[in-house]
Structure formats: structure tokens, C-alpha cells
Structure 1
Amino acid sequence: MANSQDDHVNPSQGSSSNAFIPPSIHPSSLLSGQSYCHYSPCPEDITSSLNVDSTTPIPDPSIPTTPCVLGVDEAGRGPVLGPMVYSAFYLPLSLHHSLLAEEHHFNDSKVLTPGVRSNLMRLLCTPGHSLQKSCGWAVKLLSARDISAGMQRPGAGMYNLNAQAMDATVEIIRGVVEERGVDVKEVYIDTIGNPQSYQKKLEMIFPSLKITVAKKADSLFPCVSAASVCAKVTRDSALDICYEALQKERVGKGMEHMNDGWGSGYPSDSKCTSWLKKEMHPLFGWGNECRFSWGTAKELLEVKAGLKVDWPADEDEEATKMTQYFTTASAESNDTQDELRDWYGRRPKEIF
């Protein structure tokens, strides 16, 4: 999966809605259906355990580090359109409540307006701002294509959404703690399923971290609230970028604009379902923006698709026994020589 950060959008650019586009948007990876990670620079107020003067950064126990708290949350678990985004957000323990909750009023992203979320994300990316100097963040964007590919693996090979979500959580925590040397002491995570069992799984992976998994963690812990904002702004921007790309593609083909939009991407959104029905290709369905493993998409393809593809079965339905290659020909075909049987054991000069 792509991890490159060299193709991100300039933060000064805007989308069709004039919302802030964060540097966690990597257009080329996004539009090609690739999943990827993005990490902000380590804040200047946080000293990590890595010896950054080394060509290959290595842990240096002599460096005094900054004790930090880290929160994890996601956006886009349920939609049929667009990616699912997991985010980790970290800052010094001493600033956890004062900076996030008291000064900047971070809260669960669902209770904040799009404008407030966008502005908070903008401040996080503004050089010299107190949030940018003290807070770091990371996202793992799981593309609709990769989510569906995992969920549609046959049989026991299926990679379900919970497993994908947990792997994303583990990846970004490791990226912050192990690869960037941030001295994380406490971790707060919004749960997937049962909080106790999920917490035990994570504690086995990160035995040195104090981990708390809870329902509605995004409304209980400011660092999780901040993570939810990063995840939500990244997902919303990703949807804007995908929609604009489709508009440009249609213009290039001389087609009319999609004036009605595609809504939030959730199956319960009438705009979303209308878009899916109107824009479905009779053979290929949709592009990388759609989760083909979702029931909504499956039903439309099965019921509304105008073209059917029949894959012919093998003509010989009975399995061929290996022994038949080494037995004599049957009475009905005495004059027919079996090529493999006649060749086997002969010297090359007798064959050629």
C-alpha cells in the first residue's frame, strides 16, 4: 500500500465547497484506489526518543522525552461511497485538557459543524500556531476498493471490516510510537465491538502502553475528539476530490455535470442512492469510489445491471485421473496412442 507523502494537496488550495483540504489528502493515491498513511511532522514542543541527527534515526535512551497522550478514532465506517479513515492524535499529557478542551473546544466531530471542523484542522496545519507546535497527528486512509477487495475474499480468506479497522489502528500507533519515537504514556480509543475484548487485544500488541478502549470515547477524551476531527475532515475532503475528478472526467467526455451531488455517501442518504442508480455502468458498476461489498451496491448490480456475464463451465466436468495417462488404451481406441504414455521413458533420440 502506498505510504508516499509527496503528492499531497497544498493546504492553501480549496475544494468545491471552499473547505480546507488537509495535507493528508494524496490525490494520486486517492484517485487510483490506493490506501495510504500520512503523518504530520513531530511537533516542536514534543521531544521524541529518536536521534534525528543520525542518517538512520535510532532510539536514544539518553534523550529526555515528552510524556504524551494519544487518541484514535475513525470516520466513514458505514458509507457505501468513499474511504474509511482512521486517525491518531497526540500531544503532551500536560496539555491534554487545557489546550484541546478548554482553549479550542474540541468535541466529537459529529456535533461540530463542517466549518468548525475545517477551521480546527486548518489551525493544526498553521505553522507557529499553538496547536501545530504542540500536537501531532496521523491518518490511515483505507480506500473503498481495498475495503471491498478484503471483504470479498472467498471463504476463510475474508478480511472483514473489523480486522481492517484494527490493523489500521495498530499501524498508526506503531508509526507514532515506534517509528517516530514519541513517548506515549496513555492511549484512548473509540471501540470496535466489545470494549473489553478489543482492549485486551491491543494490550497484547502494546504491553508497555496504558490503553483505554471505551464507547463514545470521542465525547469523553479530548485527544479522541481531535482524532475524530482529523479523520472526518480527511474523509470529507477525499469525497470532494473524488467527486470533482468525476466531474472533470464527464466534461472531458462531453457529458453533463452531476448537478445533484452524491450526498454523504451513506446508504440511508437518498442523494447517495439516487447517484448510485443514475451513475451505475451496466457492466462495471462504479469506480474506485464505491464499496462493491456493501449490500446497497450488490443489490443494484444484481437487480439493475443491464448486462450479464456468463462464465462457461469446463466442458469436461469429471476430474481426470492421473492413472489414465499410464494405463493401456481401451478396447474402443486400441489404434489410438496416448502421447504421454508413449513418450514416457523413451530416450530423446527416439523421440526426435
Structure 2
Amino acid sequence: MKVLVTGANGFVGGAVWRRLHGMRDVQAVGCVRRAVAFAEVDALVASVGDLSVSTDWSSALSGVEVVVHAAARVHVMQDAATDPLEEFRRVNVLGTLQLARQAAAAGVRRFVFISSIKVNGEATQPGHPFTADDAPAPLDAYGISKMEAEQGLRELAAQTGLELVIIRPPLVYGPGVKANFQAMMRWLARGMPLPLGAIHNLRSLVALDNLVDLIVTCLNHPAAANQTFLVSDGEDLSTSQLLRRMGQALGKPARLIPVPSALLKLGAASVGKPAVAQRLCGSLQVDISKTRQLLGWRPPVSVDAGLKKAAEGYLREASV
């Protein structure tokens, strides 16, 4: 089976490509914008330029049976674009549909689209997790673009017979993770006191290895065709619990000060950063029962094992 993985030098796409590259009976082609930026040049790599409505995928798609589409314009905290939604649409909607149309025309059997839990929304009430079949309710430009890409892909699949699989992960962590999760590990590794010891929310996360395992499962599983799946580690944590267990993984016990979440929210709002408090104090849970039941899938990696691997990756990078 020949599989094309877009974004193969990214966090998720790279992990998928490396997993497939070591599997028997799978010919994995990593797709990147510029091959010079891809370290593993001894393997099959396709360089196609930017992901856009004009990208020509014909050479990369030759003989491909399954596409795993992980490339995207990702969510950023400080977006400098004049019109962020238009920029997200240009890449995540128009670029994705261009790839899918050419994939269908080239005879690709299945298209696995890595979407985002942001299609569901930004927060849940404790005990009321998002499900795969909830009505979409994205609130930011990134989430809207992923929702619109999903809608366009479903229409294309209905017209062409292309099998579509949509996976919506929450926050993904693992070796090489960047942004807020990396910053959290840096704070803990330095022993910084954090005012996050009294937060009793619940948030779903997914270890990179668990997400990759589900993606690989969806390459061939007959029940995955034309379905949307949520994914997580199967254990939800509060922010306080996550910090404590991440500290254990780093060998640096978390120094947490029990400041009430109401005060944290008030302080964040006073400096114009209410969204930061929402991520730290709010809940976001996902229900993976559909994923378990339809696919017979279970997260192979525990939360603590996933955190340990992320910690080891961070410590290796920090020592360089």
C-alpha cells in the first residue's frame, strides 16, 4: 500500500511518516513544501511547494492509495495576518480541497484528514464532553477553516466515491511539541512557582503516539470510511493534575500555589488575555466511545507514558 503523508516534516505528519516508513507492506511518501528542509532525505520525499489552490499534486499522487493530510496553516496565538480567516481558508480549505480533488482523480481510495477539536468548540461543561456527531460550533478562524474543509471534503467524497476519514484531536503532546506545552515544561524544569494549584477543570489531551496509532488504524479499517472520530488518551486531567504529573515526568516536582480560578480569570481579563485563563481554567473533554466501538481502538499509550516521552524529548533538546 502506498501512502502519501502531507506535512511530513511537521509535528504530527512527521510522526505519521516515520511510523509508516518502518512498516512492512507500506510505501510511505513524505510530502513537504521544500525537500531541503527535510532531514530524512534518503527516504521517499515529494516537494510540492505551498499548500494552495494552485498546487500540482500529480507527481506526488502517482500510485497512491491513501492520503494522510496533516499539512495545514496552524492555529497561532499572535496572528499577524490582516485577515486571519482568509489566510486560514486559503490554505486549510482551498488548498485541502485542491489536494482532495486531484487525489480522487488519481484513483486514491481513502483520504484521512487531520482536523481539530476546535471544530466542535472551545469549551465543555464538566461531565458533558464533545462527541463526534455534535453540531460544529467553531469560534476562531482556525476552527472555522477546519470546519469548512470538512464540509467541502464530505461533498467531494459524496460526488466521487473517495472514502473520507476525519480525525479531530485536542491538544497533542509528545517529543518536539512546541508552543504552550513546551513553555509549561520549561517553567516546570526551572522550578518556577505557578499559581495553578487549585484548578479543578477537566481537559482531554492526546499523546502523539496515540494519535499516530489511530491514524494508522484508519488507513485500512473498513468501519472508518466516511466517519468522523474524536481521539484522546482516555483519561482527562485538570490543569493542576497535568502540571503535577508533567513535573514527575521531568523529575522536577511542580511548585503550585493554590490561587482560586476566579482570581486567575479576573487577572487575565484585566490584562486583556481572557482566552489564556479559559485554556488554563476551563474544561474541554472529548468522548471517544464512537472511536472505541466502531474501530475497536484503545489508546495504546497511557497519559504518564506519554508525558514521560514528551519530557525526555524536551530534556534532550534543552541539553543541546
TM-score by length of 1: 0.23
Q: Higher RCO, 1 or 2 (CA under 8 Å, sep at least 6)?
A: 1
- Structure with greater Cα Rg: 1
TM-score by length of 2: 0.25
